[in-house]
Structure formats: structure tokens, C-alpha cells
Chain A
Amino acid sequence: MLLELKDVRRTFGGLAAVDGASLAVEAGEVHGLIGPNGAGKTTLLNLISGLIPATSGTIRLDGVRLDGLPSHRIAALGVTRTYQNIRLFPALTAADNVLVGAHLKRHAPLWRRMLFLPSAAVEERGAREASLALLGRVGMAERARERASNLSYGEQRRVEIARALASSPRVMLLDEPTAGMNPGEVAAIAELIRGVSRAGHSVLLVEHNVKLVMKVCDRITVLDFGKVIADGTPAEVASDPAVIAAYLGGEAAA
């Protein structure tokens, strides 16, 4: 088991946004996380990436406790993410955004650059080439020099995925990567997610597009009111009465 959450709880005032959730993401798997609006999916991602602390429970990556660590340490251990409301660095170009994503992978002491050592220039060229290659992988090579703020919604989402991939994470958390995309773009993202998992990265995918989730995920966890109500393969989850009740309302299941 690569990423393991046990009885994770997070309360805001009296409200439990995540209420004792447990889930496990296996190595190389695409794991879906679905649930109605307000089920606590984004909160769960924020807990894993350390943006907010958990009230209780444990989060482990390959046995190492992540809960309580600062975000940058969690990223260094191999968990990166994208955001539901896209958080690219707007004034930087697409390529430079990906270059920032490679921060953890780069070994470039500043003094070498200060002394104009050739090794510094070689490292920089390598990092730039790797960023451009990643942009190519998400189909954004020809937009590399455009400022992030000038890119379309779908383009920004793809650059954000490239940025999250740049540090070669063990687990990538994707928060609604297809929100606001047209069907053609959604198909491209589905292909991209499968490619990412084939390359050995695990993916935890929060997504509202049920068709996409059913197509790309190996396993799915369903969250409702902060609690896990179902967990299994796409086929198991789709036929689970509790899931149908959560999505269609209590009476429909009865």
C-alpha cells in the first residue's frame, strides 16, 4: 500500500468536513475519489498535501507519517497536486511554471551560478529541456512561452498537471482536472491520466465526471458527508445501493 489514510477527521467548528475517512491507494493505481458536493473530497486532498492539519487520524506514504509535516516536506516525500480552482503562477510562462514544479528535482547550488561555472549552465539547460518535454507530454509544447494568465482554462489545467509531474511524484493528487472542459479535452485528460499511471505514478483523482472516473480508475472510494460509504472497483461501486442513494437521494434507493 503506497498511500494510506486511517480514520482521518477534520472539523471546522462543529462541522466534520472529513469524518473518520480511511482509504488506500496502491502503487501505480488510479484511484478515484467521488461524492456529492460538500462531501469533503477537496478537504481530504488538502489534508494529504498538508495545507490544513488533520484533527485526528493518520496519513502514511509507504509507511512514513505525513500528517503533521509541513507541505513542502510532504511534496519532497513524493506527493504533489493540482487544484480545483487552478493555482498556476499567473505571471510566469507555462514553461517556467513547470520549471518551478521541478524545484525538488533540481540540484543547483547558487554559488555555481554566481561564479558562472559551466556546470550551472548545463543543469539549467537540462531542467529547461525537461520542462519543455513535459509540456509536450500534455500537448502544450507550442504554448510554452505564453504567460499562464493568457492560457485558456483547459490549457491551464494541462500545464498544472505538467507542473505537478515535474518533480516525479510517487502520488499525484488531481482535484477535478476536467472541470469546465469540453468532451474532446476530457478524452485527452483521460488518456493523459492513464499515461501518468503507466509511467509509474499513482493518481488520486477527485472528479465529478462519473463517466471519466468509471473509465480511468482502478478503484473508487465514495465519500458522503465526510464518511466513506463505498470502496471498490468501478463496477462494484456503481451497483452499490448506498452510492445510488447518495447520488439520487434516499427515496430512490428505498
Chain B
Amino acid sequence: MSLGGLQDFWLTYQSTVAFVGLNGLLALSVYTTLSCGQLSLAQAAFMAIGAYASAILTFHTRAPFALNLAVATLLPALVAVPLGLPVLRLKGVFLAIATIGFGEVVRLFFVNLDFTNGALGLTAVPQRTAIWMIYAALAVALFVLWRVRGSRAGYALEAIREDEPAARTMGIDVARYKLAMLALGAAFAGLAGALEAHYTFMVAPGTYSFTRVVDMLVYAVVGGTGIFYGPVVGATFLTLLPEVLREVGSRVGLQPGPLRLFVNGLVLLLVILFLPEGISSLPGRLRARRRARREAHAA
């Protein structure tokens, strides 16, 4: 590819590259709460809080972008604490429903406020996000989760996920760990929200709806939640898939729209049926299979 061709390629696909990173960060935010067995569907609301906070700060103050991002990261984490105290007592589907409720409340709050320009949202948000910032944020999130794994706290989280009462009688303060992970997930979501707002020039309340959380959850499930980088694998795969399909579709003369939805659904179905631990479990499975075959040969 010539230099000009490379430039064209970058111009066409840089937003795809940005969204691979953003979706990866959002998938990690869902994973963070899932890592201690909690399904929180409030992530889009945390994302909205981060996006609005950063955009409003940019409009009304001269604060540097780094400070806005810090606020967008910390504010959702702070909101997560009073939300988590009552809500984390709930289990399974009840927690999911309560957090969906919280998400809707936050969205409607922003829609009905004049300060946030109601349902139209904030437009002409200055573009401050560079793609390297998105990947730096993703790297930080991955680093934190990587170091937590295998630590005393990491083992406590695994114990909570496996058997909560047993974890409690080992002296693990279950409520504290759950709250910490909800806050950490909220921080990741808020940071992603702010980075997205300053990349796409806008904060539209419609983008923080329930369907957005479902997307994040699907990234995490397709990628696999057994290991911390799984959700990023899933987000990368599912964000790139429509682009690849559009290319392929246009070459064979198919309409991109219906094909994309069909293949997306098909991939989700295939992963759940044949790779229940996600795409990230594939290398390990292949290795185990090869070993089994070798042992069968040896025997």
C-alpha cells in the first residue's frame, strides 16, 4: 500500500479504531462488576454522567481536558456508592432490574433538564479526544484489572463469585468488595463516556439507553468473562465485524444493513452454543484438545 493509500485507509477507518477502544473500555466496565458475580446494567448511566460532566465543564470553565476527564472518572464512581449500598443487597435478576431502573432515572433526569439541553443533548462539544488517549485509558483499565487478578483482593473477588456465604465465613467483607467493583466499573464507564463525547462532538441522551448496556454486555459475553482481557477481545471482534461485512457485502452486491444484523445475531448464537466461555477461551481449548489428542496417540 502506498503512503497515500495508507492515509486514505486511516481517514476511512480512524473512527472504527476509536470505537474499538471505547467499546473495549465499556466492556471492561461491565466485566468489572461481573468479576464478583454482580450483573449491573447501570453502566450506560455512569457513561452519561461522565459525558455530561466533562462536556459541561468544557463549556463553562477553562479547565484543562485532563481535569475534565478526571472529574468524569470520579463522579460516576462517587454516584455508584449511594446507589450500591442498597442495591447490591439484591441478587441476580433483581439487581439487574434495579440497575436498569437507575439507568432510566439518570437518562430521564438529563432529558428533562434545561441545563443539559433536554432531549436534544449537547452539541458542538469541542473535539479534544485523540485516539491515543482512548488507548491509554484502555491500557490503564487493563493494567488495573491485570494486577488485581491473583492479588489478595483478586482471590476474594473470585471467592465471592463462586460462593458468597462461604466467602463471608472466610472473613471476606463481601459488601465492601462489591461496592468497590461497582465504583471501579462506573469510573471506567464515565471515562469512556467523556472520551466518546469529545470524540463525536456531542452528548445525546439517546445513546445512553438500555440497548447500549446490552451492547456492552454482549461484548463481554462474546469475548468471555473468565479472564480480564476477554471483554476487550469481544468488543474488538464485534466492532470490526460490521466493517468487514460491509466490505464483503459491497463486493458480492449484498445490502449491508440486513446482512450485518443477521451475522451479528449468528455470531452471538454460535459463541453461546459452542464457546460458552467466549472467544478468549479458544486458544486454551485448542491447546487442551491438542494435548488430549497427543495423549491418546501415546496411549
Q: Is the CB of A96 within 8 A of B155?
A: yes
Chain A minimum-CB-distance residue to B153: A110
Shortest Cβ distance from residue A193 to the other chain B in the assembled complex, whole angstroms: 19
Return the contact of A72 from the options B144, B150, B168 (Cβ within 8 A). Answer: B168
Q: Does B148 contact A (CB under 8 A)?
A: yes
Chain A minimum-CB-distance residue to B152: A108
Residues in A neighbouring B158, C-beta threshold 8 A: 89, 91-92, 96, 100
Q: Is the CB of A71 within 8 A of B147?
A: no
Q: Which of A57-65, A75-83, A132-140, A180-188 has 4 or more CB atoms under 8 Å from chain B?
A: A75-83
Q: Is the CB of B171 within 8 A of A104?
A: yes
Chain B 128-163 near chain A by CB (<8 Å), digits 1 or 0? 000000000000000110011011110110110011
Query: With A87-B163, A89-B163 given, is the CB distance from A71 to B169 under 8 Å?
Result: yes
Q: Is the CB of B172 within 8 A of A72?
A: yes
Chain A 91-130 near chain B by CB (<8 Å), digits 1 or 0? 1100010011101101010100110000000001001000
Q: Does A49 contact B (CB under 8 A)?
A: yes
Residues in A neighbouring B286, C-beta threshold 8 A: none
Chain B 255-292 near chain A by CB (<8 Å), digits 1 or 0? 00000000000000000000000000000000000000
Q: Is the CB of B169 within 8 A of A89?
A: no
Q: Does A245 contact B (CB under 8 A)?
A: no
Query: With A89-B162, A92-B162 given, is the CB distance from A76 to B171 under 8 Å?
Result: yes
Number of interface residues of B (CB under 8 A): 24
Return the contact of B148 from the options A75, A80, A89, A110 (Cβ within 8 A). Answer: A110
Q: Does B173 contact A (CB under 8 A)?
A: yes
In the bound complex, CA of A167 to CA of B170 (Å)? 8
Query: With A110-B151, A113-B151 given, is the CB distance from A89 to B159 under 8 Å?
Result: yes
In the bound complex, CA of A101 to CA of B156 (Å)? 9
Q: Is the CB of A103 within 8 A of B155?
A: yes
Residues in B neighbouring A157, C-beta threshold 8 A: none
Chain A 158-195 near chain B by CB (<8 Å), digits 1 or 0? 00000100010000000000000000000000000000
Shortest Cβ distance from residue B146 to the other chain A in the assembled complex, whole angstroms: 10
In the bound complex, CA of A81 to CA of B143 (Å)? 35
Chain B 65-83 near chain A by CB (<8 Å), digits 1 or 0? 0000000000000000000
Chain B 160-191 near chain A by CB (<8 Å), digits 1 or 0? 00110111111111100000000000000000
Q: Is the CB of B172 within 8 A of A51?
A: no
Q: Is the CB of B152 within 8 A of A101?
A: no
Chain A minimum-CB-distance residue to B163: A87
Q: Which of A71, A87, A90 has the most CB of B within 10 A?
A: A71
Return the contact of B162 from the options A80, A83, A91 (Cβ within 8 A). Answer: A91
Q: Is the CB of B165 within 8 A of A71?
A: yes
Q: Does A70 contact B (CB under 8 A)?
A: yes
Q: Is the CB of B144 within 8 A of A49?
A: no
Query: With A104-B171, A163-B170 given, is the CB distance from A87 to B155 under 8 Å?
Result: no
In the bound complex, CA of A138 to CA of B147 (Å)? 31
Residues in A neighbouring B174, C-beta threshold 8 A: 72
In the bound complex, CA of A10 to CA of B125 (Å)? 61
Residues in A neighbouring B150, C-beta threshold 8 A: 124
In the bound complex, CA of A103 to CA of B153 (Å)? 9
Chain A minimum-CB-distance residue to B173: A72
Query: With A89-B162, A90-B162, A103-B156 given, is the CB distance from A110 to B147 under 8 Å?
Result: yes
In the bound complex, CA of A88 to CA of B162 (Å)? 9
Q: Is the CB of A72 within 8 A of B171?
A: yes
Query: With A99-B155, A110-B153 given, is the CB distance from A167 to B171 under 8 Å?
Result: yes
Q: Which of A83, A89, A101, A108 has the most CB of B within 10 A?
A: A89
Q: Is the CB of B163 within 8 A of A108?
A: no
Residues in A neighbouring B171, C-beta threshold 8 A: 72, 75-76, 80, 103-104, 167
Chain B minimum-CB-distance residue to A163: B170
Query: With A100-B156, A103-B152, A114-B144 given, is the CB distance from A51 to B167 under 8 Å?
Result: no
Query: With A72-B174, A89-B163, A114-B144 given, is the CB distance from A49 to B169 under 8 Å?
Result: yes
> 3 closest Cβ contacts across the A-B interface?
A75-B171, A89-B162, A104-B171
In the assembled complex, 13 residue pairs joining A and B whose CB atoms fall closer than 8 Å, in A order, are A50-B168, A51-B169, A72-B169, A72-B174, A74-B169, A80-B170, A89-B163, A96-B155, A103-B170, A104-B171, A106-B152, A110-B152, A114-B143
Q: Chain B residues in contact with chain A, CB under 8 A? A: 143-144, 147-148, 150-153, 155-156, 158-159, 162-163, 165-174
6 additional contacts, CB 8 Å, given A80-B171, A110-B147? Answer: A71-B169, A72-B171, A80-B170, A81-B169, A103-B170, A108-B151
